[in-house]
Structure 1
């Protein structure tokens, strides 16, 4: 179907967009493109049309009356010294902020009625900003969105998704709809590549190939690597005893059928923290996420074992969210569930992401905005930056004209300004950047105000190096970095050693959860969105890391320098210094 805008005469005749009066039925077919890929995204192959009786659930996000209301409120409650600092909002208060104009909601419902979407299949959530259409026949979804939904399979993992290369909306609605999912977002949440990954036992060690020259990458049979006790000592949490364990919740997000094993967790604690052998967690299954502890994943085990080892006996919840298949988008499904809770977890660890260049801008904006809502509710959300330095492979990316060029490749959602991104370090005294630490600058999101003083000194020091390979005006990642090498875990009753920012992220989450425990046990609100504090009052509680780099894209990558840098961010966490700072307000 051809996409075009309403003519000036049509707008005058039907009073759009000023009055948002419902246009005649024929004008529901007057469509404008929302997002289009020029070709099938890299590493995906087309399997053709789905069976005729296939259905799909669609999430339609409508824009708020005031599009800046959530971000303005988030900055207020997370800015040191602001009168509203720490005054997080309730579910109902956030829903009020994100509610669309009533006439836009009426217009959207008229559009759905025109396409015979039965009202009983439509649920309205989050103040009317989120319409979920359940069980829509694919043939109807194609007409509704001028789409062509087909089955696509990811080369390498064989995961199959139902997606379209393009979609559009009526001209009368396109400016009022932020995004529709699932549509053109093909990526599914992936964990960072773990370097190294080995199984140890007896005289045999199985190890994947690791990059040459990475400090500390090779382990001897006697090397125990980084342990919970060494992490607790180095980041100074050992002497703290949690007092709000029943009220303070640490959430671990899992996707793609990844889940932990309670037996492995307890075996891990027996070996590395014998005062926490009764550690446990609750499992919440979202959108068919499933849970089979007899078939755990290394990623889920790693997250649960280290968040538990740092934050025990804090309440833990593992969220098992369904895969990115025809049932929908996992990030959207997880956020829909959590934002619908009366009370959200105070800390969330999420070592998953996708290359930012593979993410449609409208989808990225929507998901990032939902994380902002979560921060406004009082949650501290941490994402890993990945293990590819500034980018994996040759970093060739196609532009809108279909031409290829080299571009550094940051990872989403860590590039979202409203989450805290975690890079990697290695070594003690001094702590240095891990060479695989993901870092760089977002192409989709501009630099947030809290980075205005931190990032320019790095860019000035960088000079003209790498001009054209990154966006100097983009949101910089990471925000912080912690140990990311040689983590022992228990996996299927066997000892393994892993490394990567998927290690540093749960460690950071455990420390932040203890800070939230300190706040809650003293009758104060949790920290919520962290970055205003990290770049402000709490900067004195961080260990600056000034050496190391993150090569990638056939370059030497960025270098760690005094102050913020796109390798280690502001540095690592010193729990005792942070507690001292937080005790003053």
Structure 2
């Protein structure tokens, strides 16, 4: 327990709260516990909680306007991204909100030196004992246990605030959030005898009928960097522009191994041998070289292998270890991507494209919190960074990867059956990536993944106003899946890429791995190459991708015309010509995209 935390706990126990004008409490947020979570016990009164308070952003609408203008290939401001300071000015809370929250904290003995503020002052973070948090929020926390995974968390299902504070606070967490942030990785199998030189092709060649490109037939068995370069029309391209950068986020003690990367490069990207990546620690994140992670190695090996020699960074974000009842050492925190966002938004220089292969079932993340996190991703886009997320691995279903046991129940207390979208992939300010399989032709991955569908939290963004209604009208017969999804919601994914049988090195051994966890870093690598083309021609990086993709860029993607995304006892949605909620617009054709991105220059 840190000294500041001990001081606050002692102060709470010894000093009465300061006197302020009385304001009765009223419930701010209330949820039903998600399926699988049951009350286990009461936490220790001194159990630490890292409380985050989100203050309203009254000018966010202005920021959103800027974001769409600088991302619209037909707008004269295209590519004129905002500075860190300009973004912070636009998301700053009103002084009245700052004062109201500060007074409330002071009434509980909490002073300015006890809190940490985000760069825009729209988030307040403080570490407190649960007993004090219960008093501040007029609530009761419990230890909850997940009946399937055995995980424990400390949460409440309802919290309140003084009435006068409601307009000055958007969200407070961790309170009602029961999410199980996880990597979107579906299959792992050990390769007993991996080829020493994957480029050597003993199986002949195939021609992709959709593109006319020739691909090694071995790519139908094992996906390598060379396979992706062939399939996506980037053979022979070497980036050379200065100032380019690419990032990968790592969470949940997934560590990227340097020795494994060198072995991977020796086999698949010889030109990259003896190069490495920068490690940036967030929230005391580690990169333990004795414990290589499948997810982290997959992400860095393929993203950095495709994009070499563009400057690579691996962000390792520390998260609390699994909470153990009666153990006061761990601090139960929020989803770790908020820790990462706090950090990255405070930096002057951030990678121009960043991918994340993790997420939650949308309904396990409270709507108010999801919308605030999504707004943070909008800040990254406004500053010129492409933010890329995996679309999930369970089709239209929930986090249970076994189709026989998928329930797809809602968390609204009525046990309704509905499709389960995935967050942050449903955030309209990120680019969501689904998964494909095979190479001649590519199809949607059939083995129960390539997450897709429609958000229940986020309405349809303007860039989807044509393609989504067209899909719903032409591809779904009246009444199809009625009541199972929100037809007015943000559709996802936006695009897709290969997502199965990727050969990676972990602990010096070769493995095959799959999931949209593979698709997201793949797209990240190719977006980084496109940024190289832009920068070399004197133009800004692509930034927020979706307005470009939906208006012009779709012509640079290969449409996927076979497959569906099963789940919830249904076949899920079907792929179709054009955009669909399985593979989006399809997979990248680097050669075509390279031409398209040079046609849009702004003023």
Please, what TM-score do these two structures have when normalized by structure 2?
Answer: 0.86
The counterpart of 1:309, out of the listed 305, 308, 332, is 305
Q: Secondary structure at the match of 2:521?
A: helix
Q: Does 1:438 align with 2:451?
A: yes
Shift of 1:408: 0.8
Q: Does 1:66 align with 2:59?
A: yes
Change (3 A) 1:269 1:571: same
For 2:45 and 2:93, the matched residues in 1 are separated by 35
Shift of 1:155: 4.3
Shift of 1:173: 1.7
Aligned length: 541
The counterpart of 2:27, out of the listed 21, 29, 33, is 33
Change (3 A) 1:381 1:223: closer
Change (3 A) 1:555 1:445: same
Shift of 1:109: 0.8
Instruction: Map 1:512-527; keep pairs closer than 5 Å.
Output: 512-527=527-542
The counterpart of 2:342, out of the listed 336, 344, 347, is 336
The counterpart of 2:120, out of the listed 88, 106, 127, is 127
Contact 1:98–1:126 (CA<8 Å) still a contact in 2? no
For 1:581 and 1:513, the matched residues in 2 are separated by 15
The counterpart of 2:128, out of the listed 125, 136, 150, is 136
Shift of 1:456: 1.0
The answer for the alignment partner of 2:191 in structure 1 is 200
For 2:143 and 2:276, the matched residues in 1 are separated by 39
Contact 1:265–1:279 (CA<8 Å) still a contact in 2? no
Instruction: Map 1:194-273; keep pairs closer than 5 Å.
Output: 194-195=186-187, 197-201=188-192, 224-244=221-241, 247-273=243-269
Shift of 1:73: 1.5
The answer for the alignment partner of 2:410 in structure 1 is 398
The counterpart of 2:99, out of the listed 94, 106, 109, is 106
Shift of 1:46: 3.4
For 1:223 and 1:459, the matched residues in 2 are separated by 32
The answer for the alignment partner of 1:551 in structure 2 is 566
Which segment drifts farther, 416-425 or 50-59? 50-59
Q: Does 1:152 align with 2:144?
A: yes
Contact 1:395–1:409 (CA<8 Å) still a contact in 2? no
For 1:556 and 1:55, the matched residues in 2 are separated by 44
Q: Does 1:167 align with 2:162?
A: no
Shift of 1:518: 1.7
Shift of 1:547: 1.6
Cα RMSD (Å) of the superposition? 2.1
Q: Does 1:451 align with 2:464?
A: yes
For 1:550 and 1:432, the matched residues in 2 are separated by 11
Shift of 1:397: 1.6
Q: Does 1:475 align with 2:490?
A: yes
Contact 2:410–2:418 (CA<8 Å) still a contact in 1? no
Shift of 1:243: 1.3
Shift of 1:581: 1.1
Contact 2:219–2:439 (CA<8 Å) still a contact in 1? no
For 2:315 and 2:151, the matched residues in 1 are separated by 21
The answer for the alignment partner of 2:518 in structure 1 is 503
Q: Secondary structure at the match of 2:170?
A: strand
Contact 2:408–2:420 (CA<8 Å) still a contact in 1? no
Contact 2:397–2:408 (CA<8 Å) still a contact in 1? no
Q: Secondary structure at the match of 1:517?
A: helix
The answer for the alignment partner of 1:460 in structure 2 is 473
The counterpart of 1:418, out of the listed 406, 429, 432, is 429
Shift of 1:158: 4.2
The answer for the alignment partner of 2:15 in structure 1 is none
Shift of 1:105: 1.0
For 1:428 and 1:316, the matched residues in 2 are separated by 28
Q: Secondary structure at the match of 2:392?
A: coil
For 2:278 and 2:189, the matched residues in 1 are separated by 28
Q: Secondary structure at the match of 1:365?
A: helix
Instruction: Map 1:384-395; keep pairs closer than 5 Å.
Output: 384-392=390-398, 393=403, 394-395=406-407
Q: Secondary structure at the match of 2:248?
A: strand
Which segment drifts farther, 333-342 or 45-54? 45-54
For 1:173 and 1:270, the matched residues in 2 are separated by 59
The answer for the alignment partner of 1:383 in structure 2 is 389
Unpaired runs of 5+ in structure 2?
1-17, 195-216, 322-330
The answer for the alignment partner of 1:9 in structure 2 is none
Shift of 1:223: 7.5
Q: Secondary structure at the match of 1:354?
A: strand
Shift of 1:198: 0.6
